[in-house]
Amino acid sequence: MLKFIIKRLGLAILVALTVSFISFILLFLSGDPAAALAGEGATDEDVHAIRALYGFDRPVLVQYAAWLLNAISGDFGESYYFKLPVAGLLAERLSITMLLGLCGISFALLTAVPLGVMAAIRPNSLIDRFALFLSVAGQALPSFWFGLILIVVFAIKLQWLPVSGSGSWQHFIMPTIVLGYYAMPAIMRLTRAGMLEVLSSDYIRTARAKGAPEGVVMFKHALRNAIIPVVSLAAVQIGFMLGGSIVVESIFALHGAGYLAWESISRNDLPTVQALILVFSMFYIVFTFLADVLNAWLDPRMRSS
């Protein structure tokens, strides 16, 4: 198991370095950052002065190496727009986004996995058709539209929940439902398909023939094997939730990291954008690494891969 973890950790580090380099280069390929900072009416002298001030006149590889070394130590520079350390902005905004992402994936798993299991146990039943309806509806409903409907019904009409903000746990109920509902269809379908495949396996029939309780057959034998691809999917989904929550944060006025990304991009705040790309990429890599380790613990056969 230790050898597997070290191998996956080394691969994760290589991916992280590759992603950081590509994301850094892409920002320069989109145009001259010095010209963007200078504005439309700037002269060539102004652009050259800004390029020298922020070090854009150095080779790109030198800029990347300096930026990466500073980023590893937690120094992402100073925001061009907010005039504050980028690390402080991230620390302030990431707490909201991480809480929202964890609540969203928890809601998705606690809803989709039981529904997927019940749909697989009773295929073509009412619960199976209900799960299929939720799956189709989850893919068809845009997040912004679903969020606005929840606001109109539960905040404006019924006045059960606050419209926006992040002052209490009630403020996170509707954003959690919107964010989690988007991930439910894939998790539900994968759970159902995995359970259907496992329940038709020989070892499940053998366990039942030996008189094992149905609960033991379902949760110890069937679900343990069917849940393996769901773990990998959940890792990808939570990475997406943390990095792609800008729509939900904008609708419910949650000033998290997703909303900060939109502000930084619209205002050409290069250091903040670079830091956010790196942090969001690290979320994907870390959660994927943890999912690989958990899957290897659930299924020892994966440790040899």
116 assigned to some structural domain: yes
What are 203-226's pLDDT values in tens digits?
777 777 777 777 777 777 777 777
CA separation for the pair 299, 303 (Å, rounded): 8
Q: What is the mean pLDDT of residues 93-118?
A: 87
pLDDT band at 83 (very low <50, low <70, confident <90, very high): confident
* pLDDT at residue 60, as a whole number: 79
**Mean pLDDT lowest among 47-51, 151-155, 157-161, 185-189:** 47-51
pLDDT band at 244 (very low <50, low <70, confident <90, very high): low
pLDDT band at 136 (very low <50, low <70, confident <90, very high): confident
Q: What is the mean pLDDT of residues 187-208?
A: 80
CA angle 261, 265, 266 (to 5 degrees): 115
Beta-carbon contacts of residue 18 (< 8 Å; ≥ 6 apart): none
106 assigned to some structural domain: yes
**Is a pLDDT exceeding 60 seen at residue 102?**
yes
CA separation for the pair 207, 194 (Å, rounded): 18
pLDDT band at 301 (very low <50, low <70, confident <90, very high): low
159 assigned to some structural domain: yes
Q: What is the mean pLDDT of residues 272-277?
A: 84
**Mean pLDDT lowest among 33-37, 61-65, 157-161, 195-199:** 33-37
Beta-carbon contacts of residue 54 (< 8 Å; ≥ 6 apart): 33, 34, 37
CA separation for the pair 26, 284 (Å, rounded): 19
Count up the domains in the chain and report the number. Answer: 1
* pLDDT at residue 196, as a whole number: 82
**Is a pLDDT exceeding 70 seen at residue 151?**
yes
201 assigned to some structural domain: yes
251 assigned to some structural domain: yes
* pLDDT at residue 147, as a whole number: 85
Q: Rounded mean pLDDT of the chain?
A: 80
Domain with 268, as residue range(s), is 93-304
CATH number at residue 136: 1.10.3720.10
* pLDDT at residue 54, as a whole number: 73
CA separation for the pair 87, 77 (Å, rounded): 8
What are 7-22's pLDDT values in tens digits?
777 888 888 888 888 8
278 assigned to some structural domain: yes
pLDDT band at 63 (very low <50, low <70, confident <90, very high): confident
